């Protein structure tokens, strides 16, 4: 396998409802990524894009529909999707294209337009459940998160307040991101006083519904070194899928995340991730998930994560800054684009270009992770400067 670098990144603003069509959103992110490294579309050899279920954009065979907006006209173009994990999985998909030796340049583009759903995108999740054993109870996505969160809290004695600290931290951090959907700071009371949707999940414990797109440009070592003196390398990739019988898993520990992380760390030659990783972008569609994933990523000891959070260990100036982007809670959650936003964040952070959000101390190694399907898949990418 050849070394693969990220050489450019771009994204749209994340918004509640964009006028732009999904193709137009993809174009804006792709164009921004190309412009950031001074490439033109004709310099790109292939496109690897990611977008979650077709239903969100309301176009079946969404991959083919989006292709021209992703720069795929008359090029080898391939879509991947693993639900919520798509955004991080897509760069693994793109990495293969270049690492294999088939291509020297590859665009990786992720897009989601959630606002097309009427009355709410939740409706599209109803048919992800088993049609015979579960759907009769009319479950919704919040239920399964609530069950998992409750199990996690009970296992380690965490409280709703403990979990709400993540939303406070990420939402306020996200205000520094130019693409963020939000402009107002929040307090712990705001989170705890927001409407209970499905105990123990309150409305502000959940990331918003968003439209947006994000993209990066990948290049082989030879091409990357010619185009930039600050390539960010894809050091390790990993992914793992647990059973779709979600009720049979240890809900308090995402073992599949650990498997994916171990695979990525092994490839990156990382033996002690909690000491070697400088920045973590765990997937945070819900506050508790960031902590849950920090444990699965072997970046925090199980059951000690809340204490570390309270001690400032995960602050921007802490030992291991967590979600410097602001995450899905703070920037927004256009599903696949949200995961790709985390990849963009590592790119900017590791090049020292993250502006107001820049993690101090010249970070060298970061990890991004996303999670999806029926709470069962994790994709993990380690990037280094």
Partner 1 sequence: MAFLERSTKNTENRYWYPEENTFPVSNRYTTGVAGQRFFGELKDNARITGTRCHSCQVTFVPARMFCERCFARLDDWLDVGSEGTVFSYTVAYVNRDGSAKPEPAIIAAVRVADGILVHRLLGCNAGEVTIGMKVQAVFRPEAERTGSILDISHFRPV
Least distance from partner 1 to the Cβ atom of residue 17, Å: 8
- In angstroms, give the least distance from the CB of 119 to partner 1: 7
Nearest Cα residue to 282 out of 264, 296, 266 = 296
Shortest separation between residue 19's beta carbon and partner 1, angstroms: 5
Give me the least distance between CB of 227 and partner 1, in Å please.
18
Which of 6, 10, 30, 349 lies at the binding interface for partner 1 (CB under 8 A)? 30
Q: How far is the CB of 68 from partner 1 (least distance, A)?
A: 4
Dist. CA 216–CA 205, nearest whole Å: 29
Q: Which stretch binds partner 1 (CB under 8 A): 8-16, 114-122, 246-254, 361-369?
A: 114-122
User: Judging by beta carbons within 10 Å of its beta carbon (0-12, 13-18, 19+), is residue 374 exposed, middle or buried?
Assistant: middle
Binding of partner 1 at residue 119 (CB under 8 A)? yes
**Contact in structure between 368 and 325 (CB atoms under 8 Å):** no
Structure token digits, residue 272? 């002690």
From the CB of residue 372, how many other CB atoms can be counted at a distance below 10 Å? 25
**Would you tell me how many other CB atoms lie within 10 Å of the CB of residue 189?**
10
Q: Report the site for partner 1 in 37-76 (rule: CB under 8 A).
A: 40-42, 58, 68-69, 71, 73-74
Site string for partner 1, 302-341 (x = CB under 8 A): ----------------------------------------
Which stretch in 28-36, 189-197, 312-320, 338-346 sits in contact with partner 1 by CB under 8 A? Answer: 28-36
Residue 54 or 221: the one with the smaller Cβ distance to partner 1 is 54
The one among 3, 78, 102, 117 contacting partner 1 by CB under 8 A? 117
- The site that binds partner 1 (CB under 8 A) totals a number of residues, namely 30
Q: Is 118 or 137 the residue whose CB approaches partner 1 more closely?
A: 118
Among 61, 100, 127, 159, binds partner 1 (CB under 8 A): 127
For the chain, the farthest-separated pair of C-alpha atoms sits apart, in whole angstroms, at 58
Closest approach of partner 1 to the CB of residue 126, in Å = 6
Could you tell me which residues come within 8 angstroms of residue 87 by beta carbon, excluding any fewer than 6 positions away?
A: 50, 110, 214, 335, 336, 337, 338, 339, 340, 341, 342, 343, 370
Cβ proximity to partner 1, 18 vs 167, nearer residue: 18
Q: How far is the CB of 59 from partner 1 (least distance, A)?
A: 9
- In a 3-state reduction of DSSP, which class is residue 177? coil
Task: Say whether residue 128 binds partner 1 (CB under 8 A).
Answer: no
CB atoms within 10 A of CB 283: 33
Nearest to 94 by CA among 384, 385, 381: 381
Query: What is residue 128's DSSP assignment?
Result: G
Q: Residue 103 interacts with partner 1 (CB under 8 A)?
A: no
Q: Which residues contact 351 (CB under 8 A, 6 or more apart)?
A: 230, 232, 385
Is 121 among the residues that bind partner 1 (CB under 8 A)?
yes
Contacts of 16 (CB under 8 A, 6+ apart): 115, 181, 208, 209, 210, 211
Minimum distance from residue 180 beta carbon to partner 1 (Å): 21
How many whole angstroms separate alpha carbon 63 and alpha carbon 131? 26
Stretch that binds partner 1, among 110-118, 159-167, 182-190, 364-372 (CB under 8 A): 110-118
Token output for 319: 């030992």
User: Judged by CB, which is closer to partner 1: 120, or 275?
Assistant: 120
Which member of 27, 103, 182, 265 binds partner 1 (CB under 8 A)?
27
Report how far apart, in Å, the C-alpha atoms of 351 and of each of 129, 342, 362, 366 are.
42, 14, 9, 11
- Does 24 help bind partner 1 (rule: CB under 8 A)? yes
Q: Are 331 and 208 in contact (CB under 8 A)?
A: no
Q: How far is the CB of 31 from partner 1 (least distance, A)?
A: 6
Q: Using CB under 8 A as the criterion, which residues of the chain lie in contact with partner 1 when the complex forms?
A: 17-21, 23-24, 27, 30-31, 34, 40-42, 58, 68-69, 71, 73-74, 116-121, 123-124, 126-127
């Amino acid at each position: 396998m050849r070394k693969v670098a990220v050489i450019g990144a771009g994204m749209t603003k994340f918004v509640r409802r964009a006028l732009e069509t999904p193709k137009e959103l993809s174009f804006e992110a792709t164009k921004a990524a190309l412009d950031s490294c001074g490439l033109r579309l004709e310099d790109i050899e292939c496109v690897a894009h990611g977008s979650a279920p077709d239903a969100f954009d309301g176009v079946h065979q969404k991959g083919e529909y989006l292709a021209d907006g992703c720069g795929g006209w008359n090029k080898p173009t391939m879509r991947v999707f693993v639900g919520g994990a798509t955004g991080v999985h897509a760069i693994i998909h793109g990495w293969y294209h270049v690492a294999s030796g088939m291509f020297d340049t590859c665009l990786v583009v992720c897009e989601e337009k959630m606002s097309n759903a009427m009355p709410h995108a939740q409706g599209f999740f109803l048919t992800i459940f088993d049609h015979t054993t579960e759907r009769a109870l009319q479950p919704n996505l919040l239920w399964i998160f609530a069950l998992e969160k409750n199990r996690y809290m009970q296992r380690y004695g965490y409280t709703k307040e403990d979990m709400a600290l993540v939303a406070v931290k990420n939402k306020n951090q996200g205000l520094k991101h130019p693409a963020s959907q939000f402009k107002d700071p929040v307090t712990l009371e705001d989170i705890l006083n927001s409407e209970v949707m499905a105990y123990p999940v309150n409305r502000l414990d959940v990331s918003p519904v968003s439209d947006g797109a994000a993209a990066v440009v990948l290049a082989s070592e030879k091409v990357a070194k010619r185009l930039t003196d600050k390539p960010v390398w894809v050091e390790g990739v990993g992914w793992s899928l647990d059973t779709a019988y979600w009720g049979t898993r240890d809900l308090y520990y995402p073992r599949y995340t650990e498997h994916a992380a171990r695979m990525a760390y092994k490839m990156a030659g990382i033996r002690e991730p909690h000491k070697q990783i400088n920045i973590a972008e765990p997937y945070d569609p819900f506050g508790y998930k960031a902590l849950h994933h920090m444990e699965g990523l072997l970046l925090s000891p199980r059951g000690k994560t809340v204490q570390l959070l309270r001690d400032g260990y995960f602050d921007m100036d802490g030992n291991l800054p967590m979600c410097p982007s602001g995450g899905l809670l703070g920037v927004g959650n256009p599903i696949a684009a949200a995961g790709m936003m985390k990849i963009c964040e590592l790119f900017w952070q590791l090049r020292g270009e993250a502006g107001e959000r820049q993690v101090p101390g010249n970070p060298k190694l970061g990890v991004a992770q996303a999670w999806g399907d029926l709470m069962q898949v994790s994709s993990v990418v380690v990037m280094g400067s």
